[in-house]
């Protein structure tokens, strides 16, 4: 990770966390009045997306830290909750929606953790099961290179009995998780893909073996694990390559310690196609057989999605018959034809995942309202 410029909002210039990050980065800092000064600099560069990955902006989150997953209309959502610690990512994946989600995209980190913890305490006081993650608008672990945010959150979740924190990453930056008394309330999670896709479409990410090695370290430290094959990308020979990933995964890690595995195929807003073509001229992922889905996103033709899901689910089941597998943003027909049931048949997707979290993370149902 390379930070070439550090900008600090004047509101947080004297914040202790701001000063701590400055000391760790050792990059000259520029105090700004507001975000517009940072955004104007980024948009003036030839590749604002790439430039935004090297500029860190420290600010105060003026909105809510705790959010619902935006999901996708007309497709089943898992009712995930987001803890909004920062935005964007230094890694550069061709398919990443964050390229168009933020305007312009900038690495922004919120330093007012006192407000984050206060809001989180209010949420946890509701005594409901919550699955909470920090990896929706950013990678969960990149910030551990110069902050203690993972330690802060792991310690906080360990002290309660009815919510889990999922830290999802494509890095190997797990050192901060070692020697923490996590009480199995934090799930260490990785996005996985084939070595070919990692090499060609996921610039700056850790390799497959390195990700699994990091997961093995977390398992040794007692963390429950989760994995996300999203996006699955269709290309000649992809099935066998995904099978090899799955075989590698289960040869290194215990299926009994995996809370869930999610599957989702490549999807993107139509406006992303020219952006991917421009920024990743060697990429072939946008030239497959797509249709516009009910959410307006480009998706593989449904029979192609179903065929790939079936094959991958069968491979997973051969290694771990009882593991919880779910689909990200698919409809009932796809669920029925790939997993053999619809979410409503088991009380809903959210309930299915909640119960898996209860089982693997030792949540106490007696504390639930």
SS3 readout for 317-333 = HHHCCCCCEEECCCCHH
The CATH class given to the 64-367 domain equals alpha beta
| Mean pLDDT, rounded, for 212-236 | 98
CA distances from 324 to 82, 257, 327 (A): 21, 11, 10
Listed range (99-108, 112-121, 292-301) with the worst mean pLDDT: 99-108
Q: 369 pLDDT exceeds 60?
A: no
The reported pTM is 0.96
Read out DSSP for 17-86? HHHHHHHHH---EEEESSHHHHHHHHHTSS-HHHHHTSEEEEE---S-SEEE----TTS-----EEE--E
Averaged pLDDT of the chain? 94
pLDDT digits (tens, 9 = 90+) for 43-93: 999 999 999 999 999 999 999 999 877 766 667 777 889 999 999 999 999
Query: Each residue of 122-139: pLDDT tens digit?
Result: 999 988 889 999 988 999
Domain edges within the chain: 64-367
From 120, 121, 143, select the one nearest 58 (Cα to Cα): 143
Give the torsion sign (CA, 271, 276, 281, 282): negative
Better-scored residue on pLDDT, 318 or 1? 318
Q: What proportion of the chain, given as a percentage, has pLDDT over 70?
A: 98
Find the mean pLDDT for residues 236-264: 98
SS3 183: coil
The values of phi and psi at residue 188, to 5°, are -90, 125
Which pLDDT does position 135 carry in this prediction? 86
């Amino acid at each position: 990770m390379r930070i070439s410029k550090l900008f600090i909002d004047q509101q947080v210039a004297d914040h202790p966390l701001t000063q701590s990050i400055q000391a760790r980065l050792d990059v000259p800092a520029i105090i700004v009045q507001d975000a517009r000064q940072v955004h104007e600099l980024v948009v003036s560069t030839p590749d604002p997306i790439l430039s935004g990955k090297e500029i860190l902006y420290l600010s105060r989150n003026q909105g809510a830290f705790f959010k619902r997953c935006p999901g996708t209309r007309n497709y089943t959502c898992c009712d995930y909750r987001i803890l909004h610690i920062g935005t964007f990512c230094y890694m550069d994946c061709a398919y990443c929606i964050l390229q168009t989600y933020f305007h312009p995209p900038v690495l922004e980190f919120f330093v007012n953790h006192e407000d984050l913890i206060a809001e989180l305490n209010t949420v946890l006081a509701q005594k409901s099961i919550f699955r909470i993650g920090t990896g929706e608008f950013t990678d969960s672990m990149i910030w551990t290179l110069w902050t203690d945010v993972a330690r802060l959150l792991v310690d906080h979740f360990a002290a309660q009995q009815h919510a889990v924190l999922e830290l999802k990453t494509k890095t190997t930056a797990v050192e901060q998780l070692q020697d923490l008394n996590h009480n199995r309330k934090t799930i260490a999670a990785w996005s996985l893909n084939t070595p070919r896709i990692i090499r060609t479409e996921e610039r700056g990410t850790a390799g497959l073996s390195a990700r699994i090695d990091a997961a093995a370290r977390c398992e040794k430290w007692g963390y429950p694990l989760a994995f996300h094959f999203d996006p699955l990308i269709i290309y000649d020979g992809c099935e066998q390559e995904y099978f090899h990933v799955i075989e590698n995964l289960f040869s290194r890690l215990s299926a009994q310690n995996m809370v869930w595995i999610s599957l989702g195929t490549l999807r993107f807003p139509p406006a992303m196609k020219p952006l991917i073509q421009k920024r990743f001229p060697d990429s072939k992922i946008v030239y497959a057989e797509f249709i516009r889905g009910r959410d307006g996103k480009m998706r593989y033709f449904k029979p192609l999605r179903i065929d790939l899901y079936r094959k991958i689910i069968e491979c997973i089941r051969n290694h771990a018959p009882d593991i919880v597998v779910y689909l990200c943003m698919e409809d009932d027909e796809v669920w029925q034809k790939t997993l053999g049931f619809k979410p409503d048949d088991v009380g809903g997707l959210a309930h299915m995942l909640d119960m898996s979290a209860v089982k693997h993370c030792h949540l106490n149902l007696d504390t639930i309202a």
